[in-house]
Amino acid sequence: MKSPKNQADKSKAPKHVAIIMDGNGRWAYARNLPRIEGHRRGAEAVKRTLKIAKEYNIPFITLYAFSVENWNRPKKEVDALMDLLDNFLTDQLKELLKREIRFRVIGRYEELPPHIQKRLKKTEKATAHFTEHTLGLALNYGSRTEIVDALRAVTKAAKIGDLNIEDFDYNDLRSYLHTGDMPDPDLIIRTSGESRLSNFLLLQSAYAEIHITSVLWPDFGEAEFKIAIKDYYDRERRYGKTSCKLHNI
Ligand code: FPP
């Protein structure tokens, strides 16, 4: 079960798993700790997950780390999240290089603090040549802003004659999204029991399977990942067609 390579039908293996990491605050609250401690433990769960995704041979993993709406949190919390990110990128670069994982940011990253942008660019550049595994980090990300950005770029390209809007389809639109060089997610995992997508990969997840676990993000680890992957393999992905089991009825 560990590697999708061991599955009977390799074509069914998830190529892209995206995770809404939720529950850091509640994890801290339950222990009478400051919210920031929950985020710090959340960053540890990120490191664990990265390792597990590589071991399970998942080619693309995308983590929702900071949404466009998260700027509305208290400045102290936002600053702490940026510091955690800075530290994470500093100490994970050697891990990404060792494990041959390409790093990609999705989101409006030009609005992030300049020192973070610099570190993100450095990490992307240093890992750009890896092709087998990608870690996507959603930062200052929101599907609605992503779609607006894509539509602006499409309109610009159409105006200068770079594309013909008559032939334009979803695959063309995909290439203008922040995830343009990634496949759409097969599986979305959300921790902390909330059942919503919170402005995350709304277009890309049109046919994604969604797995909700009540586990809070700082407690997420291999056992939970395994349950989510098993749940995914148990689903029948029909893409609007009839069920295979019901074909001949
Ligand atoms: C949601 O929990 C989590 C976030 C908004 C931030 C995610 C951040 C991390 C996992 C740590 C830092 C990330 C990296 C990549 C180093 P919440 O605060 O909304 O939890 P709550 O709903 O219980 O309050």
User: Cα of 24 to ligand 1 centre, how many Å?
Assistant: 5
- The single-letter code of the amino acid at 28 is A
pLDDT at 195: 96
pLDDT at 246: 63
> What are the structural domain ranges in the chain?
13-246
Terminal Cα-to-Cα distance of the chain (whole angstroms): 32
The DSSP bridge partners found for residue 126 are none
Mean pLDDT of each 10-residue bin along the chain, 249 residues long: 51 92 98 98 98 95 98 97 97 96 96 96 98 98 97 95 91 95 97 97 97 98 96 87 68
Q: Specify the ligand 1 atom closest to the Cα of 64.
A: 7
Would you say the CB of residue 200 lies under 6 angstroms from ligand 1?
no
What is the rounded distance in angstroms from the CA atom of residue 187 to the CA atom of residue 232? 7
Among residues 22, 184, 186, 199, the one annotated as catalytic is 22
pLDDT at 67: 98
pLDDT at 228: 97
pLDDT at 241: 78
Q: What number of other Cβ atoms are within 10 A of residue 55's Cβ?
A: 13
pLDDT at 245: 65
Q: Note the CATH architecture for domain 13-246.
A: 3-Layer(aba) Sandwich (3.40)
Ramachandran angles phi, psi of 63, nearest 5°: -115, 130
Would you say the CB of residue 23 lies under 6 angstroms from ligand 1?
yes
